[in-house]
Every structure is written in structure tokens, then in C-alpha cells.
């Protein structure tokens, strides 16, 4: 291990400005230790962007099917402090009530103003229950009010993202299109919606489109195809009999992670996860 890479592993991780189910901030050092060297990192399921924020590739392609997320990222990248100040207004005390939350949630679901919707995306993320970004079948955000005493306005985290985002192309597209764009020198890190640990534990709708068994299998097929062309692919998931079988032939590491997405404190706890490297 080179001294430069050792330094990277022990850097203080940068937190993303969004809360996100299954976010990778907790395990970022394990991911950084697994990622090969390359000139560009492609993230087909970028989520809150923990991996992007905590790696040092020359270029990035950040993709997700959630248009609201991508618009938010792009406004922050383009406007930086100006957009941060626009978002700040929604973190005043009088907006931290159930009535105001429901009104702004309705506005988020109905407005055609993409800049306003991007600011409200951050407001909802920080004021809704557990930071759960959940949509119904019609594509409408429907998470309930979180009842937090004083929701945190993530100005410093937004600034960190805005500064680093100059090195990134940020697009709304599905994982197949972003992975199809990979060329030699690229590294692909995939953080798909996880295989459920049980029938009742499934949470696969970061947007209105689900991610089922056939999607998991197709993702691995694409990973194997890219690896055969000399483009490494890393996939995160729960450690189950299904994923162990699905990722056979790859280099797999398993570990425990604290997960807090359950609405019941008594059911929150540690879950077994895997990182599978195809190369």
C-alpha cells in the first residue's frame, strides 16, 4: 500500500448533505480500500454521494434515476452559495411544523419550478421522518413529518459537494445507460437498492420504480461484461445466500453495518453486507 493511499484511508470522511437510506458514509473506508485506481469513477446509483465525496478520481460520472436528486445536485453545482442561500429560507422555525411541512410537500409534488423543487427536496429530506426519501406509485413524495426540534441546515456539507462537483458530470439515467458508457480507465461503483433480508424488510423504492430480482441479476451480468473488457466493477449489497451465489467468482468481502432505516427502534440493528469486486 502506497503512502498516498494510506493517507486517503485515514482521512476524516466528508458527510453528504442529504440523509439517504443505505448511505455509504459508515463504510466509506472499506469501499475506498476496495476501489481500484482509474481516471474516472462511474456511480450508476449515486444516492447522497458519499463515495463521490470521499474519493479522489480525476473525473466522475454521477447518475441516478431520481430526477429530483439529480436536479438538486446540478443546481448546487451550478449556483453554489447562491443556491445554498435560497435553500436556507426553508429552515426557518415557522417552517418546522406539520402544517407547513404538508403544504411544502404538496408544493414539491405539484410545482413546475425545478429550482424551487430542488430546494424543497433538501427541506423535505431534513424535515421528514427518518430522512426517508419515499415516493408512491404516482411518483409523489409521501413521507410523513419528522417532528424534529431543530432540523439541521447542511450548509458546510453543501459547500463541500459544490466545490467537488466541478469534476463531475451529473445525469439522470438508468444504470444500464451509465454502465454502457464505461471505457478503459473507468471504475464503476454500484450501490443498487439492496436485496431484502426478509419478505417484510424490503425497501427498494428510492423513486417510484422498484428494483427486483431480475434487475439484480442483470446488474451482475453487466458487471461481468465490463470486467471482461478490463473495466472493474464493485457492487454493494446485503450478505445473503442469494447475493453470495449471484456474485460467485468475484472477490467478496463481508462485514457488519449498523442500519437505522426501520421506523421501530427495537428492530434497528446490525446487518451483514458485502462488497463484490468484478475485475
**What's the pLDDT score for residue 21?**
86
Q: Is 181 found in the same domain as 147?
A: no
Domain for residue 162, yes or no?
Answer: no
**What's the pLDDT score for residue 230?**
98
Low-confidence ranges of the chain (pLDDT < 50): 1-7, 200-208, 262-263, 265-267
> In CATH, what number is assigned to the domain containing residue 44?
3.40.50.150
Strands 168-172 and 186-190: unpaired
Q: Is 191 found in the same domain as 263?
A: yes
**What's the pLDDT score for residue 260?**
59
Segment 71-92, tens digit of pLDDT: 999 999 999 999 999 999 999 9
Torsion-angle region of 212 (φ positive above 0: left; ψ -120 to 50: alpha; else: beta): beta
**What's the pLDDT score for residue 197?**
83
Domain for residue 259, yes or no?
Answer: yes
**What's the pLDDT score for residue 206?**
43
Q: How far apart are CA 152 and CA 115, in angstroms?
A: 21
Q: Is 194 found in the same domain as 266?
A: yes
81 and 75 Cβ atoms separated by less than 8 Å: no
Report the domain count for the chain.
2
Q: What is the pTM of this model?
A: 0.89
Segment 244-264, tens digit of pLDDT: 999 999 999 999 987 655 445
Q: Is 266 found in the same domain as 179?
A: yes
Q: Is 257 found in the same domain as 225?
A: yes
Which of 263-266's residues contact partners 24+ apart within 8 Å by CB, and which partners? 263/129, 263/130
Domain for residue 29, yes or no?
Answer: yes
| Grid coordinates belonging to 75 | 443546481
> In CATH, what number is assigned to the domain containing residue 100?
1.10.1020.10
Q: Is 60 found in the same domain as 101?
A: no
Domain for residue 164, yes or no?
Answer: no
- List the domain range (segments joined by +) for residue 270: 3-65+173-278
Of the candidates 40, 39, 29, 27, the residue with the CA atom closest to the CA atom of residue 5: 29
**What's the pLDDT score for residue 10?**
54
Residue that finishes a domain, picked among 108, 129, 156: 156
Q: Is 194 found in the same domain as 138?
A: no
Amino acid at each position: 500500500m502506497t503512502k498516498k493511499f494510506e493517507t486517503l484511508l485515514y482521512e476524516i470522511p466528508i458527510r453528504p448533505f442529504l440523509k439517504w437510506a443505505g448511505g455509504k458514509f459508515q463504510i466509506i473506508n472499506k469501499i475506498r480500500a476496495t476501489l481500484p485506481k482509474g481516471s474516472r469513477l462511474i456511480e450508476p446509483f449515486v444516492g447522497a454521494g458519499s463515495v463521490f465525496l470521499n474519493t479522489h478520481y480525476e473525473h466522475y460520472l454521477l447518475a441516478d434515476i431520481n430526477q429530483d436528486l439529480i436536479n438538486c445536485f446540478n443546481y448546487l453545482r451550478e449556483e453554489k452559495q447562491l443556491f445554498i442561500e435560497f435553500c436556507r429560507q426553508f429552515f426557518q422555525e415557522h417552517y418546522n411544523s406539520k402544517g407547513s411541512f404538508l403544504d411544502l410537500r404538496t408544493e414539491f409534488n405539484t410545482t413546475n419550478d425545478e429550482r424551487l423543487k430542488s430546494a424543497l427536496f433538501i427541506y423535505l429530506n431534513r424535515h421528514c421522518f427518518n430522512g426517508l426519501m419515499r415516493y408512491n406509485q404516482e411518483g409523489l413524495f409521501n413521507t410523513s413529518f419528522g417532528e424534529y426540534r431543530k432540523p439541521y441546515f447542511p450548509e458546510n456539507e453543501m459547500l463541500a459537494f459544490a466545490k467537488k462537483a466541478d469534476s463531475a458530470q451529473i445525469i439522470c439515467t438508468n444504470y444500464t445507460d451509465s454502465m454502457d458508457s464505461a471505457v478503459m480507465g473507468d471504475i464503476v461503483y454500484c450501490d443498487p437498492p439492496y436485496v431484502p433480508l426478509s419478505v417484510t424488510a424490503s425497501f427498494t423504492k428510492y423513486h417510484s420504480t422498484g428494483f427486483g430480482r431480475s434487475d439484480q441479476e442483470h446488474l451482475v451480468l453487466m458487471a461481468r461484461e465490463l470486467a471482461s473488457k478490463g473495466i472493474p466493477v464493485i457492487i454493494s449489497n446485503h450478505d445473503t445466500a442469494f447475493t453470495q451465489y449471484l456474485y460467485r467468482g468475484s472477490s467478496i468481502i463481508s462485514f457488519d453495518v449498523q442500519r437505522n432505516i426501520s421506523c421501530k427502534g427495537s428492530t434497528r440493528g446490525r446487518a451483514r453486507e458485502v462488497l463484490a469486486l468484478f475485475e
